[in-house]
A and B are shown apart, each in its own frame.
Chain A
Amino acid sequence: MKAGHKFAIGALVIVAAIAALMYTGVKQTGVYFLTPTELLARTSADPSFHDVGLKVGAKVVPGTIKRDRASQRIEFAVSDGQNQFPVRYEGIVPDTFTDENDIEVIMSGKLGTDGVFHATEVLAKCGSRYESELDKLKQSA
């Protein structure tokens, strides 16, 4: 057998291994990334969805943040403009999670049968705070 053919076989084995790793990787570690509306639609259609760990991207509803700093527990509501639900999280939230308006969060966790999203991880990003501030300045000028 020519060396080129041997290499082709070796390459195929590696490519197949990569493909298999990627396929099983997605199968076993991939999680749904949903909006609140999508999540509520799925859980009402299929109650077993309450037990599925997933990610939700949404905005924090202004004025709903309740912090208990002593126990590092935090509660707030998230919304995508159509639907909203409360979130409970225990742990340290990032600095970007402020009490101001327009915080976008990406949370991992489960929507419990109690209707509360129990988050295991919260990432936050200040949304368009700056743009709106600038617009205000522009209008006032």
Chain B
Amino acid sequence: MNLLGEFALWTALLVAGWSAILAFATRGPARDRAAASVRQAPHAIALCLWVAAVSFWKALFSHDFSVEYVYSYSSRNLPDYFLFAAFWAGQKGSLLFWALVLATFASIAQLVTSRRYHDLLPAVAGVTSVVTGFFVLVMLVGGANPFERLPFVPPDGRGLNPQLQNPGMVIHPPMLYLGYIGMTIPFAFAVAALMARRLDSGWIHAIRRWSLVSWLFLSVGITIGMWWAYVELGWGGYWAWDPVENASLLPWLTLTAFLHSVMVQEKRGMLKRWNLSLVIGSFLLAIFGTFLTRSGVIASVHSFTQSNVGYFFLGFLLVAGVLCYTLLYTRWPSLEPEATLDSLASREAAFLFNNLVLLGIAFSVLWGTLFPILSEAVRGTKISVGPPFFNRVNVPLGLLLLLLTGIGPLIAWRRASAANLSRQFTGPVVAGLVVALGLLLAGLRDGYALAALAIAGFVTGTVAQEFIRGVRARGRLYQEPALVALGRLIARNRRRYGGYLVHLAIVVYFVAFAGGAFKVAKEATLRVGEAIEIDSPFGHRYRLTHLGVSQYQSLNRRVSAATLEVRQDGVRVGTIKSEKRQHVDSFGQPTFQPSTEVGIRSNLREDLYVVFAGTVDGTERGSFAVTVHPLVWWVWAGGVLLVVGGLVTMWPGGPEMAPRARPAPTRVEPEGVAV
């Protein structure tokens, strides 16, 4: 099977190379003949990669430790779902996974794209083949062959790093990868449109759903990553501005910008160059993230082992960047905007500012991430910036963005009249002010948190107002009961109301982030019966009493579990347990460093988060770190709402292609050509 897998990789490389030549190096009649052939290539490549992937899974599940990767990332006593996930636990396997997903997407893109854009598909196949081929090339000649053999067969593998032995490992990397890789398809369409000079808005329609899918996967992947870091890493937070986290945020920011600016192109024929730049940029940032996590140029807790693979990615990044932006430059004149901005008080302007802020955030995150390298290159000394820098720059920008989230969807296109503004925004502004006043009276004094929650109130007001008006209008028109009207309202205007749900999700995230400002943490070493007290920012006091440590064997690990009794203002509310785990191999020998299983008591207001840091000299005396982290639950709630909203937005079928009916018409109503 291993030979078959390796053979399949070489075949994929050859097919990809051949397809690229046919797609880009043929001219005239030869090109037309080649087109049909090129369009089949992604299917062949996908087939090859599935053969390779199945072989690889087979090696993992059959404990074939003659394969170096299987030895390095699995063991006989690893549960099946982690054997499955060990596929992407290491550098080599994750490259294979990248290529596998990309090839699958490329194949699907050839099948599902509407007939109208079929003339773009040969070039799309060419681009996806080049990118897939590049990944396969890195595996085969870049020293990252997942099927590499050992000269002997070890009796057992080293096992999976315990920090990766979390349900997050099964879903987080695939989600993030689906997001990263999904961006290749819009990118391929953009390049194809540029090459074919088909620069009307056609290519944008062809990729709308693809860019939404990538965006959704990326959002979910990032959120699950936050959850995983939160429950696994034990420092009491979910976002540390680590370079690898930042690398996933960068393409998310540019893609979010694109999803908004593309609407301006659909409605007004503006921003064509900008949109192409964003699509290309998002793809390059995805590759950049891959480079960052794999090269070891920047120290990060998440990164793979340092290797030369990074230089391949750097090279690819530079070549692809230069080629794509040169191509864009040569097509510059045919990308004249069809309209200009009429007024600052317009949806176009709101979207432009939204893009500016998103790109500003992306730039500052990139800058901060690369600052150690930049400062060393320019001044000869490494200077690093951490969370204080990122928070300082991004909190105000984030708040501005949140404000635009409320303004953008409600303000009229072209030019908003004073009547439009007062009709749409009076209610929400009042809502925001009421929230601010209420919180001030409740004793909240943190400026940023106050602003965040007030703006959250404003945006929630805008969304609620839209839903209420929509439901009322349907009620009047069709005499529907409110719930039916709500369901139909969403179902008939999926893009619009799905978008509102996503915005609401973003609000929920911001509320959670505001809560993070009030985190409190304490450390203590406790004998059995001793207690630690910690004050919640909501005013009550927790008292945690150490009840003792129990030790037992479980599955593939030895566990020491410490249990604490939790009292809130003197009332017993339950217990909380945190574990120290030492994973062992099938011979009972310890593998890897010990790991911690955090104890969490979560409710709507706050999380009580306990880390058991180990016992003292073999006694039951234990060290603990306790954190009270307000509103963490809201991050996960925001994630769920975001998925719901995203799915509504992109759900296939339905009357979304029809001109959008506006239940709440405004006086200025020059709707552009609807999708």
Question: A residues touching B (Cβ–Cβ < 8 Å)?
Answer: 2-4, 6-7, 10-11, 14-15, 17-18, 21-22, 24-26, 28-34, 38, 55, 57, 69-72, 91-92, 94-96, 98, 100, 106, 123, 125-126, 128, 130-131, 133-134, 137-138, 141
> By the criterion CB–CB under 8 Å, are B372 and A15 in contact?
no
Indicate if the CB atoms of A21 and B383 lie closer than 8 Å. no
Assess whether B397 is in contact with A18, with CB atoms less than 8 Å apart.
yes
Contacts of B68 in A (CB 8 A): 134
Interface size class of B (residues with CB under 8 A): 35 or more
With the chains together, A55 CA to B375 CA distance in Å? 14
Residue numbers in A under 8 Å from B7 (CB-CB): none
Interface residue SS majority, chain B: mixed
Q: Which 3 A-B pairs give the minimum distances between C-beta atoms?
A: A141-B152, A33-B382, A29-B388
Residues in B neighbouring A6, C-beta threshold 8 A: 344
Residues of B within 8 A of A106 (CB): 299
Query: Are the C-beta atoms of A4 and B381 separated by less than 8 Å?
Result: no
A1 to B206, CA, bound (A): 38
| Inter-chain contacts of A28 with B (CB < 8 A) | 388, 392
Q: Cβ of B523 and Cβ of A72 under 8 Å apart?
A: yes
A18 to chain B, nearest CB (A): 4
Q: How far is the CA of A72 from the CA of B616 in the complex (A)?
A: 9
| Residue in A7, A21, A38 whose beta carbon sits within 8 Å of that of B341 in the complex | A7
Other contacts beyond A31-B385, A33-B372, A95-B594: 18, CB < 8 A: A7-B341, A14-B360, A18-B360, A18-B363, A21-B364, A25-B368, A25-B385, A32-B381, A69-B614, A69-B617, A95-B593, A95-B595, A96-B301, A128-B305, A133-B158, A134-B68, A134-B72, A137-B150
Nearest B residue (CB) for A106: B299
Decide: B301 and A33 in contact? CB cutoff 8 A. Answer: no
Contact A125 B301 (CB under 8 A): yes
Q: List 7 A-B contacts (CB under 8 A).
A: A3-B346, A32-B382, A69-B615, A69-B616, A70-B616, A94-B235, A134-B68
Interface string of B365-397 (1 = CB under 8 A from A): 001100110010000011111101100110011
Please name all residues of chain B whose beta carbon is closer than 8 Å to the beta carbon of A21 when the two chains form the complex.
364, 392-393, 396-397
B154 contacts the other chain (CB 8 A): yes
Q: How far is the CB of A126 from chain B (nearest CB, A)?
A: 7
CA–CA, A93 and B89, complex, Å: 25
- The answer for the CA separation of A93 and B158 in the assembled complex, in Å, is 24
A26-B371, A30-B384, A32-B381 known; A70 vs B392 contact (CB < 8 Å): no
**Distance of A123 Cα from B303 Cα, bound (Å):** 14
Shortest distance between the CB of A80 and any CB in chain B (Å) = 13
What's the Cα separation between A17 and B151 when bound, in Å? Answer: 59
Question: Complex formed: what's the CA distance from A11 to B594 in Å?
Answer: 51
Question: Which residues of chain A are within 8 angstroms of B352 by Cβ–Cβ distance?
Answer: 7, 11
Q: Are A29 and B389 within 8 A (Cβ)?
A: yes
Give the residue of B305, B384, B523, B623 whose beta carbon is less than 8 angstroms from that of A31.
B384
Indicate with 1 or 0, residue by residue over B531-543, a CB within 8 angstroms of chain A CB atoms. 0000000000000
Query: Is the CB of B465 closer than 8 A to any CB of chain A?
Result: no
User: What 1/0 mask marks residues of chain B from 585 to 628 whose CB sits below 8 Å from any chain A CB?
Assistant: 00000000111100000000000000101111100010101000
Closest chain-B Cβ to A125's Cβ sits at a distance in Å of 6
Q: B343 interface residue, CB < 8 Å from A?
A: yes
Render B172-194 as a binary contact track against A, CB cut-off 8 A, 1 for contact.
00000000000000000000000
Establish whether residues A69 and B525, one from each chain, have CB atoms under 8 Å apart when the complex forms. yes
Is A30 touching B389 in the complex (CB atoms < 8 A)?
A: yes
Bound CA span A18–B352, Å:
16
- Given that A18-B393, A95-B594, A95-B595 are contacting pairs, would A26 and B617 also be in contact in the complex, using a CB cutoff of 8 Å? no
Q: Is B171 among interface residues, defined by CB-CB distance under 8 A?
A: no
Q: Determine the distance from Cα of A96 to Cα of B360 in the docked complex, in whole angstroms.
A: 35
Min C-beta distance of B523 to chain A, whole Å:
6
Name the contact of B593 in the complex, choosing from A31, A33, A98, A141 (C-beta under 8 A). Answer: A98
- Chain A CB within 8 A of B200 CB: no
The smallest C-beta distance from A49 to any residue of chain B, in angstroms, reads: 12
Of the residues B342, B384, B614, contact of A55 by C-beta under 8 Å? B384
Set of chain B residues within 8 Å of A71, measured between Cβ atoms: 525
Is the C-beta of B340 less than 8 angstroms from some C-beta in chain A? Answer: yes
Q: How far is the CA of A98 from the CA of B593 in the complex (A)?
A: 7
**Which of A17, A21, A72, A92 is packed against the most chain B CB atoms within 10 Å?**
A92
Query: What residues of B have a CB within 8 angstroms of the CB of A7 in the complex?
Result: 341, 344, 349, 352
Taking a contact as CB atoms under 8 Å apart, the answer to whether B613 and A92 are in contact is yes
Kindly provide the distance from the CB of A66 to the nearest chain B CB, expressed in whole angstroms: 13
Report B-chain residues with C-beta under 8 Å of the C-beta of A31. 383-386
